[in-house]
Amino acid sequence: MSFLFSRKSTSLLLTLVFLAGCQSFKTREDIRNATKPAPTPGSKSTSTTPTSPRQTEEAATPYQPDIQVEEPTTPPPAPVIPAMPKIAFILGGGGAKTYAHIGFLHELTRAKVPVYAIGGIEFASPMAALYANREQANDVEWQMFKMKDDEIIKKSLLGNVNKNGDITVMREFYNTAFKNQKAEDYRIPFACPSYNLKKNQSLMMNRGGMEQLMSMCMAYPPFFKPFQGNIAAVREVSGLARYLRQKGANFVVFVNVLQGPGGNKPFTLDASATDNVLWSEIAGLYNKPFAGVDTVITLETGDYGIMDFDKRREIMNKGADSANRQLKTLTRKWGL
């Protein structure tokens, strides 16, 4: 009897232990859910849908920030020629070499290139002024060849050249070419640059009597002394270009008659003279780009110096030949 009670007691005890173990038993799904954080109030519940292998691979890929690749810089575009170009010309300085500009103006007329405005530097300033007045290359040639050699360069009995004379010797030429003329009355805009030594300032001469303007724009070594403290501003190509654009030009051409240093002939009679060094430096400057200038035309004058006024006719013809070849290309660009 006691033995039977003992078996029942043992069976009851095992049953209670088994029921207690079932309360703590957890399936694999219970364990997996227990490792996930509990959702916070207001947040969306996390889906328990198994991820695909591709999603698992993307999740395992480390984060890489976006890399900004800088595109290679391209050179600036070439100057755009306006549909209706208003072309202005700057005739560069160069003593006797500037007579090549007359040949250039003749070719400009033959090519029927309209000149909207014009400026001249040093000995080219009267040429530009004469053209601005009547717009006739023949008139420029006619008046400039009236200038006498001995008005520019005076030679002694021994053949020595007297330099840096007084520009007042040009009064006869001024009276013949520009009598009672004023720059503001010209057909097309005109200006020539002058430099005031006292004020250390460049001036754009575009108004007033032509005799006064020419004296201020032409005086420069080795030909003339300063006139009332003013000399030709031979370096003011950009300033002159800026003025011509202010007058309405939208395309500016610089006509250069100075080849680079080391040409066929020195600029002055004495290759070692200070004046030759000065003009060599100016020639180097003229062969560099200028702000405001769209195109440069270089006329071939390497066989002549700035004091070869006795060869003016040759220089003019040489300038015409050189201009003819270059203008053919430019007129096609301009659509003329």
- Mean pLDDT across the chain: 81
Q: How far apart are CA 152 and CA 161, in angstroms?
A: 10
Here the contacts of 196-202 (C-beta below 8 Å, separation 24 or greater) are 196/229, 196/230, 197/226, 197/229, 197/230, 197/231, 198/229, 202/233, 202/236, 202/239
Phi–psi pair at 193, nearest 5 degrees = -90, 140
DSSP state of 262: S
Q: What is the pLDDT of residue 259?
A: 82
Q: How far apart are CA 4 and CA 2, in angstroms?
A: 5
pLDDT in tens, 141-153: 999 999 987 778 7
How much helix, strand and coil, in percent to the nearest 5, is found in the chain? Answer: 45, 15, 40
pLDDT in tens, 260-275: 655 668 888 777 788 8
Q: What is the pLDDT of residue 269?
A: 77
* C-alpha 124: how far from chain center: 23
* Residue 247 pLDDT greater than 90, yes or no: yes
CB atoms within 10 A of CB 96: 23
* Residue 1 pLDDT greater than 70, yes or no: no
pLDDT in tens, 178-226: 999 999 999 999 999 999 999 999 999 999 999 999 999 999 999 999 9
Q: What is the pLDDT of residue 217?
A: 97
Q: How far apart are CA 167 and CA 144, in angstroms?
A: 16
Q: Are 218 and 127 in contact (CB under 8 A)?
A: no
Please report where in the chains the tokens 């050179």 appear, as a residue: 75
Furthest-apart CA pair in the chain: how many Å? 170
- List CB contacts of 125: < 8 A, sequence separation 6 or more: 91, 192, 213, 214, 217, 218, 232
Mean pLDDT, to the nearest integer, of 305-331? 93
**Integer CA distances (angstroms), 40 to 33, 36, 48, 50, 65, in order:** 15, 12, 16, 22, 30
Q: Is 266 left (phi over 0), alpha (psi -120 to 50) or beta?
A: beta
Higher pLDDT, 239 or 24: 239
* Residue 57 pLDDT greater than 80, yes or no: no
Q: What is the DSSP string of 15-64?
A: HHHHHHHHHH---HHHHHHHTSPPPPTTSPPPP-PPPPHHHHHHHHSPP-
Q: What is the pLDDT of residue 3?
A: 41
Q: What is the pLDDT of residue 301?
A: 93
Higher pLDDT, 118 or 331: 118
- List CB contacts of 192: < 8 A, sequence separation 6 or more: 119, 120, 121, 125, 128, 129, 204, 205, 213, 214, 217, 232, 240
**Confidence label for 48 from pLDDT (cuts 50, 70 and 90):** very low
Residue 29 tokens, joined: 């799904």
